[in-house]
Structure 1
Amino acid sequence: MVLKMPSRFGSLVKEACALLDKFTSDSRDVDVFLEEASTDLQSIGPTERKFILEVVSGCVEYKKLLNVVISAFYGQHRKWLCRGDRSQFIVICYLAIFSLDDLGLGHFSGIVKSLAPLKMHLFLDFFFSNLTSWIQDEWNSIYEAEFVEKNWIRPLLRWRPEINLLMDQLAVPKESDVRRAPVKTTQCQEFNLNKPKPRSLPMPELIPLQEKTKPVPNTTYTTPREIQIIEEIKEKNQQKAQELLFEANMTQFRCGNPEKSEHTKAVISQIKTDLDSKLKFDSFHSSGIPPSIKAKSCSVKLNNAAIRRREALHDRQVKEELQRIERLVQGARDPSPFLQRQKEVLERDLQEKLQTAERKRLETQISEQEAALARNRVAERNQKTAQLKKEETAQLMQRYAEKRLQEEKQLRDLMQQVTDSHYNSKAAKEKIKQLKQRIVKEVSEQSQELLRQALEEQQEELCRKFKIIQEIHAIESLPRIRPNSFDDTETAGHELLNEMSLAELKERLALLRQQQEKEQEERRRNILEEKQKKKQEILEALENIELHERVLAKEAAERNEKKKANQELVQQVVAQDETIVALKKKLEEKKQASQRVKQAEKSKIIPCKKTPTGTNIQRDLKEKTWEELERSLACYIQDTP
Structure 2
Amino acid sequence: MTYYGKCIETVIEQLDKFKPHKDNPEQFLETVSTSLQQTLSPQKLSFILDILAGCLEYRKLLTVVVDAFYVRDGRLCLWADYSLFEVICYLAMFQLDELGFQLFCSIIKSQPVAKTCKFLRFFFNPLNLCSWIKDEWSLIYETAHVKENWIDPLMRWQPEVQELINQLEGVPTDRTLLKTKAKVTEPKEFNLTVPKPRAITMPEPVPTMAKPRPVPQSTYQEPKEQKLLQMIKRFNRRTAEELLLKANMEELRCAMPRLRKDPQVQDVKKQQQQQQQQSVPRIRRTPNLTFYKPNSFPVKLNTATILREGALYQRQVEKELQRVDKLVDGAGDFSEFLEWQKKMQAKDLEEQLAAGECRRLQGKLSHEEAILARHNLMQENKQKADQKKEETAELMLQCAERRLQEEKSMRELVEQVTEAQKNVRLAHMKLVKGRQQIVQEVIEESRELLQRSTEEAREEQRRRCELIAQLRALETQPTRKGKLVDLTQIPGYGLEGEMSVVELRERLALLKETQKRERREKRDHIIQDKRAKSQKLQNTVEQISLCRAAMGRTAALRWEEKKAQAASLGTPSQDERVLELQRRMEERVAERRKQTAKLLLSPSRAVRPQLRAQEEVQHWLELDQSRERRLQARQEADRTCQPTRHLKAS
- Could you say whether these structures have the same fold, taking a TM-score greater than 0.5 normalized by the shorter chain as the test? no
TM-score range, shorter chain: 0.3 to 0.5
Tell me which of the two structures has the higher relative contact order, counting C-alpha pairs closer than 8 angstroms and 6 or more residues apart.
Answer: 2
**Structure of larger gyration radius:** 1
TM-score (structure 2 length as normaliser): 0.38
TM-score (structure 1 length as normaliser): 0.38
